[in-house]
Amino acid sequence: MSMRGTERLKSFRLRAVTLFRCSLLLILPLVPSVARGVYSCGGTNDDFNCGADNPYPCCSNGGNCTWWAWEQACRNWVQGLPNWGNALSWLGNAPGSGWPTGSTPQVGSIACDTGNGPFGSLGHVAWVTGFDSNNVTVTEQWCDGFYGNRTATYSRSSFEGYIYKKGGGTPPTPTPNPCGGTDNATYVSDSWPHDGDDLSPNQSFQKSWTMRNSGSSTWKNSCNHKWAFDGGQQFGAPEYTDVGGDVSPGNNKTWTLNMTAPSTPGTYTGYWKTDRNGVGRFGDSVWITIDVINPKPDTPNPSIQWLDQGMNTGDNQKVKVDCGMPSRANQLYYDMSGGGTDDYGWTGDTSYTDTGVSDEQTVQVNCQAYSSSTGLYSDWSGWRSVGVGDRTQPDSPSPQAPTWDDQGANSGDNQKVTSNVPLPSGASQIQHRLYRSDGTQLQ
């Protein structure tokens, strides 16, 4: 048996294995030790000479936070730590053994949770490899879960204090990190198109979101802050967009992206989020939802005309309607209103003449267009109207004096006299009547 084993068997104080992050040491009388310190744990061997053997056990998953922290102090400080018990006891026991403690992280120190943090009631210890104003990066083992050791980053509030190398002096004040601070982003507003808006296939558009820096970090290109596509439909926009100028806490940043609607009709949603590339996304998630539809035909703009004006004073008047064929349509519907009118169903004709219209009324038409290729209808044009059989009285005529055509040429009867009366406004015919000087009418 090796010296390590001999020394460990000298003690019948029992060390039981915890079911949490680190080992639990208990005093169990009359029972041999079931959780002895071990030489190897999670693929790492206790083969560095620091004047003591690692007193902690290795849990069944191949890890134990106290074994790992003790081993790192042995290798890096060349100091064999005492057995300080469970992880929750390390911060309180270290000063009594001569190891200084404090609240400031230091690379090469032991981060300690005394059971009040996120690691469980038995606490946690880990070896510090880096830190900034918000976070601490450590290497660690756990007594359950993963095998061996790993690197992890926690918020500084996860640990209550740190154990420093004996004789190492006061830990230095950390240098301010230009990329330090907490990242957060809050939605403020966005631009058209809004959720549920209709767009045509392959339609180009711009979409903007305004976000407020609601964290304590400053968004910078040098700190890899970006606007990031976060899933769904990308609409042809870039995956990442640089922040550009610095955005200090409390200020807003508007991100504008050029986008293109998909070519196939349907409902599409895309998500975006603020990101620190290489660290992670943060803040409010925003999205755009659009409906891509085939565009319906343009609305017709019909005209209506009374063809028999001044020519027909009875029924069977002629009225012509011209709807025109609007864009993206190949059929028209003429909805006629008025006595004697007939609707003209779906047709490719751009005009329609109704010949049986009753006299003395108002005739109306309302047109709609249709596309047989998309199955879509236009909006109705709205009613257009014309009066048929308008009996407005013409202006009174202004006759000129008759002229004696045979003056000096005919000395008998059968003289010629011409009546000249201009056609007044609103009239199409003139009736002429000639009278003798005695008031009798000429035949």
* Residues in Cβ contact with 59 at an 8 Å cutoff, skipping those fewer than 6 apart: 17, 18, 23, 143, 144
Residue 394 has a pLDDT of 63
CA torsion 94-95-96-98 (nearest 10°) is 90
Per the structure, the count of domains in the chain is 3
Within a domain: residue 397? no
CA separation for the pair 130, 91 (Å, rounded):
19
* pLDDT score of 41 more than 50: yes
One domain for residues 241 and 310: no
Q: For residue 272, is it within any domain?
A: yes
> In which domain, by residue range, is 149 found?
3-163
Confidence of residue 31 (pLDDT cuts 50, 70, 90): very low
Give residues with Cβ within 8 angstroms of 297, minimum separation 6. 326, 327, 328, 329, 369, 370, 371, 376, 377, 378
Instruction: Please give the full DSSP string across 412-429, using - where no structure is assigned.
Output: SS---EE---PPPTT-S-
Residue 153 maps to a domain: yes
Token couple for 63: 């890890």
Same domain, 15 and 121: yes
Among 388, 417, 432, the domain-final residue is: 388
Measuring CA to CA, which residue among 49, 83, 45, 42 is closest to residue 66? 83
Token pair in block for residue 58: 């290795």
Average pLDDT of span 251-256: 97
Q: In this structure, are 234 and 368 located in the same domain?
A: no
Whether 281 and 365 share a structural domain: no
d(CA 119, CA 158): 8
| pLDDT band at residue 223 under the 50/70/90 scheme | very high
User: Residue 181 above 90 pLDDT?
Assistant: no
CATH code, domain carrying 251: 2.60.40.10
Top pLDDT among 43 and 164 is at 164
pLDDT at 7 over 60: no
**Which pTM does this prediction carry?**
0.41
Q: Does one domain contain both 13 and 154?
A: yes
Whether the CA torsion 422, 423, 429, 432 is positive or negative: it is negative
Q: How many CB atoms lie within 10 A of CB 237?
A: 21
Are residue 319 and residue 234 in the same domain, yes or no? no
Distance CA 99, CA 81 (A): 9
> Is 368 within a domain?
yes
Mean pLDDT for 386-400 is: 72
Q: pLDDT per residue over 128-152, tens digit each?
A: 999 998 999 999 999 988 899 999 9
- pLDDT, mean of residues 406-427: 75
Task: Please tell me whether residues 149 and 13 are part of one structural domain.
Answer: yes
Size of the chain, expressed as the number of residues it contains: 443
Asked if residue 177 is part of any domain, the answer here is no
Between residues 193 and 429, which one has the greater pLDDT? 193
- In the listed set 388, 416, 433, which residue is the last one of a domain according to the structure? 388
With 70 as the cut, is the pLDDT of residue 4 above it? no
Residues 210 and 137 in one domain: no
Tell me how far CA of residue 395 lies from CA of 189, 310, 311, 391, 426, in angstroms.
66, 15, 18, 12, 6
Q: What is the pLDDT of residues 301-360, one digit of tens each?
A: 999 998 887 777 778 888 899 999 998 899 999 998 888 888 888 889 989 898 888 888
**158 plus 213 within the same structural domain:** no
Tell me which of 163, 191, 212 is where a domain ends. 163
Q: Which residue has the higher pLDDT, 128 or 22?
A: 128
- Residue of 44, 74, 70, 76 whose CA lies nearest to 55: 70
Distance CA 192, CA 198 (A): 11
CB 65 within 8 A of CB 124: yes
What is the distance of C-alpha 277 from the center of its chain? Answer: 20
Catalogue the E-assigned strands of 69-217: 101-102, 110-113, 124-131, 135-140, 150-155, 161-163, 185-190, 197-199, 204-213
Q: Please name the amino acid found at residue 215.
A: G
Please report which confidence band the pLDDT of residue 417 belongs to, taking 50, 70 and 90 as the band edges. confident
pLDDT at 218: 94
Strands 240-242 and 197-199, sheet pairing: unpaired
Confidence of residue 19 (pLDDT cuts 50, 70, 90): very low
The DSSP code for 46 is -
Q: Are residues 109 and 218 in the same domain?
A: no
Residue 432 belongs to some domain of the structure? no
> Are 25 and 68 found together in one domain?
yes
Q: Is 298 among the domain residues?
A: no
Strands (E) in 119-246, as ranges, are 124-131, 135-140, 150-155, 161-163, 185-190, 197-199, 204-213, 225-232, 240-242
- CA atoms of 327 and 367, how far apart (whole Å): 14
Mean pLDDT estimate for the chain: 84
Mark whether 357 and 261 lie in a shared domain. no
Residue 431 lies in a domain: no
Distances (CA, A) of 387 to 305, 321, 333: 9, 13, 22
